[in-house]
């Protein structure tokens, strides 16, 4: 209640309990230490963020410029996105995965896939129900679950199991109360690639316990040495139980553009679309035209990017291996997931590397409890900088 326009001395902003309950930002300490070093004039190399350093293909930028000049593109767009974009996404799935999608009911554009991922539990999961979440994982699976008042149940990804979930280890009690399961392959942060058998097991569990599967395929196009990651939707019954998230972010160096999509099960997509009519008013149309250009235009930029990432991967892993740090070459993604050498915690090791080598690496613990014992290094810095980082890391070991 407002009294005589006066704000009381005790007036203060108190965050909602649901916001307070979100996990603490575990990289805050490292961020602070990095800023301190930089303010002191130290040259810090940041292998922390997974954000392509390469430019968006020129024809995509040009398409944005052209379409931004057309007043027809200046108004509210539709939540369901341009029909042409949905068709372009369906065509891309057909070409790439031989998966047939109905662009009207089985494809929904998103303001980046993160937006849809974080909102999905709000559309499908009741408070108190479980969401099965890989551990370690991309943080929005867990935070989206918590914002919906649901409970995250961890599926540990271990080296012994090639960083695939051990579905047999999920208790019946949890499975019965689970409404949704997130999966992500190629995986961030472990760089693991899924097998068909893994997806098949997920589908069986989903059918047995009525669980919706949400697979995140953000890195499906970033793979090396002839590896061709599969889509979850390639499995015969996948569309009956789930959806797949994807976006132009990693494939076309478009992380800042914010265009993604979800495709697959029409009921799941309708639920998310209904929620979204209350949250946003669609994607700026020039961005949609640009995404269409990315999906349908010249794909040579992707091949060039892959060659660059592969060269970076090889130089980093080979330098670390030569120094006695046993690190595997990832078959996909833009990350190297490495066991912490010695008995330190991942946080202590990352802190020491920052202080001694002036290189930012991400402690695995920040992605979940099961990420402890590992660190993540991103390949998204210019090759010469990565070479310098490798040399510094070797010296600090
Ligand atoms: C980068 C990334 C995405 C992409 O997010 P957008 O919102 O589409 O930019 C999705 N999932 C994972 C696991 C990622 O690392």
Please tell me the predicted confidence (pLDDT) of residue 11: 80
Helix (H) or strand (E) holding 388: helix 383-396
What distance in angstroms lies between residue 247's CA and the mean position of ligand 1's atoms? 7
pLDDT value at position 3? 55
Rounded CA gap, 222 and 244, in Å?
17
Distance of alpha carbon 238 from its chain centroid, rounded?
Answer: 20
For residues 288 and 81, the answer to whether their CB atoms sit within 8 Å is yes
Residue 83 CB coordination number (10 Å)? 12
Beta-carbon-side half-sphere exposure of residue 296 (alpha carbons within 13 Å): 15
The residues spanned by each domain of the chain are: 18-55+300-396, 60-296
Going across the sheet that includes 335-339, the strands are: 335-339, 374-378, 362-363
Q: How far apart are alpha carbons 175 and 287 in whole angstroms? A: 40
Strand partners, 182: 214
SS3 134: strand
Residue 357's pLDDT is what? 96
The torsion defined by the Cα of 330, 334, 340 and 344, in degrees rounded to 10, comes to -170
Question: CA triplet 206, 181, 190: central angle to 5 degrees?
Answer: 125
Distant-in-sequence, close-in-space partners of 43: CB < 8 Å, separation ≥ 6: 358
Cα 139 to ligand 1 centre (Å): 10
Cα torsion angle, 128, 26, 370, 227, sign? positive
pLDDT at 79: 87
Structural tokens at position 167: 């579905």
- Verify whether ligand 1 is closer than 6 Å to residue 185 (CB atom): no
- Alpha carbons 75 and 219: distance in angstroms, whole number: 32
CATH code, residues 18-55+300-396: 3.90.1150.10
Same CATH fold assignment for domains 18-55+300-396 and 60-296: no
pLDDT at 12: 87
C-alpha of residue 278 to centroid of ligand 1, in Å:
23
HSE-CB at 301 with a 13 A cutoff on CA atoms is: 20
Rg of the Cα atoms in the chain: 22
112, 114, 117: which to mutate for ligand 1, most atoms within 8 A of CB?
114
For residue 98, give the 3-state DSSP assignment: coil
188 lines ligand 1 (CB under 6 A): yes
Compute the distance between CA of residue 144 and CA of residue 263 in angstroms, rounded to an integer.
19
Which conformational region is residue 112 in: left (phi greater than 0), alpha (psi within -120 to 50 degrees), or beta? left
Q: Kindly give the distance from the C-alpha atom of residue 216 to the centroid of ligand 1, in angstroms, as a whole number.
A: 8
**pLDDT 10s digit of each residue in the chain, 397 long?**
455 556 667 788 999 999 999 987 777 888 899 999 999 999 999 999 889 999 999 999 999 999 999 999 999 998 899 999 999 999 999 999 999 999 999 999 999 999 999 999 999 999 999 999 999 999 999 999 999 999 999 999 999 999 999 999 999 999 999 999 999 999 999 999 999 999 999 999 999 999 999 999 999 999 999 999 999 999 999 999 999 999 999 999 999 999 999 999 999 999 999 999 999 999 999 999 999 999 999 999 999 999 999 999 999 999 999 999 999 999 999 999 999 998 899 999 999 999 999 999 999 999 999 999 999 999 999 999 999 999 999 998 8
What is the pTM assigned to this prediction?
Answer: 0.95
Expressed in angstroms and rounded, the spacing between residue 258 Cα and the centre of ligand 1 is: 10
* Separation between Cα atoms, residue 208 and residue 210, nearest integer Å: 6
Question: Long-range pairs for 92-101 at CB < 8 Å and ≥24 separation?
Answer: 92/295, 92/296, 93/231, 93/233, 93/263, 96/220, 96/231, 97/230, 97/231, 97/233, 97/234, 98/234, 99/231, 99/233, 99/234, 101/233, 101/263, 101/264
Question: What pLDDT, on the 0 to 100 scale, is given for residue 27?
Answer: 78
Determine the pLDDT at residue 2. 53
Ligand 1 atom at shortest distance from the alpha carbon of 138: 13
216 Cβ closer than 6 Å to some ligand 1 atom: yes
State in Å, rounded, how far the first CA of the chain is from the last one.
Answer: 61
Q: Is 249 helix (H, G, I), strand (E, B) or coil?
A: coil
Pick the CATH number of 60-296 from 3.40.50.300, 3.20.20.100, 3.40.920.10, 3.40.640.10: 3.40.640.10
The CB of 112 under 6 Å from ligand 1? The reply is yes
What pLDDT, on a 0 to 100 scale, did the predictor assign at position 5?
59
| Residue whose CA is at the smallest distance from ligand 1 atom 10 | 218
Closest CA to 268 of 91, 105, 99: 105
Q: How far is Cα 173 from Cα 156, in angstroms, rounded to an integer?
A: 17
- pLDDT score, position 25: 74
Distance (Å, rounded) from C-alpha 291 to C-alpha 244? 18
pLDDT of the residue at 363: 96
């Amino acid at each position: 209640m407002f009294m005589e326009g006066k704000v009381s001395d005790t007036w203060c902003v108190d965050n909602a309990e649901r916001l307070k309950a979100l996990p603490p930002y575990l990289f805050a300490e490292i961020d602070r230490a990095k800023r301190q070093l930089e303010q002191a004039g130290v040259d810090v190399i940041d292998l922390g963020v997974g954000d392509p350093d390469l430019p968006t293909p020129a024809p995509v930028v040009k398409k944005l410029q052209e379409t931004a000049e057309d007043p027809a593109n200046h108004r509210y767009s539709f939540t369901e996105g341009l029909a042409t974009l949905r068709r372009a996404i369906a065509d891309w799935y057909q070409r790439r995965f031989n998966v047939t999608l109905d662009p009207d009911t089985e494809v929904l554009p998103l303001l980046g896939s993160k937006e849809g991922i974080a909102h999905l539990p709000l559309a499908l999961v009741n408070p108190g129900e479980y969401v099965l979440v890989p551990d370690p994982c991309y943080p929005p699976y867990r935070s989206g679950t918590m914002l919906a008042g649901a409970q995250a149940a961890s599926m540990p990804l271990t080296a012994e199991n090639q960083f695939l979930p051990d579905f047999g280890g999920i208790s019946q009690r949890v499975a019965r109360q689970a409404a949704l399961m997130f999966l992500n392959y190629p995986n961030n942060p472990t760089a693991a690639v899924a097998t068909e058998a893994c997806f098949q097991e997920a589908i069986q569990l989903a059918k047995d316990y009525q669980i919706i599967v949400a697979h995140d395929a953000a890195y499906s196009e970033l793979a090396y040495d002839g590896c061709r990651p599969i889509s979850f939707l390639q499995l015969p019954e996948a569309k009956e139980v789930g959806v797949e998230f994807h976006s132009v972010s990693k494939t076309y160096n478009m992380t800042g553009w914010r265009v993604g999509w979800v495709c697959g099960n029409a009921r799941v997509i309708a639920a998310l679309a209904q929620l979204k009519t209350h949250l946003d008013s669609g994607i700026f149309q020039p961005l949609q035209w640009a995404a269409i250009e990315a999906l349908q235009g010249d794909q040579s930029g992707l091949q060039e990017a892959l060659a660059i990432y592969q060269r970076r991967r090889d130089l980093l892993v080979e330098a670390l291996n030569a120094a006695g740090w046993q690190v595997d070459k990832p078959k996909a993604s833009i990350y190297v997931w490495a066991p912490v050498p010695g008995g330190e915690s991942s946080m202590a090791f990352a802190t020491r590397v920052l202080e001694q080598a002036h290189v930012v690496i991400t402690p695995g613990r920040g992605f979940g409890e099961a990420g402890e014992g590992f660190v993540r290094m991103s390949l998204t810095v210019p090759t010469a900088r990565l070479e310098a980082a490798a040399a510094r890391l070797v010296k600090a070991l």
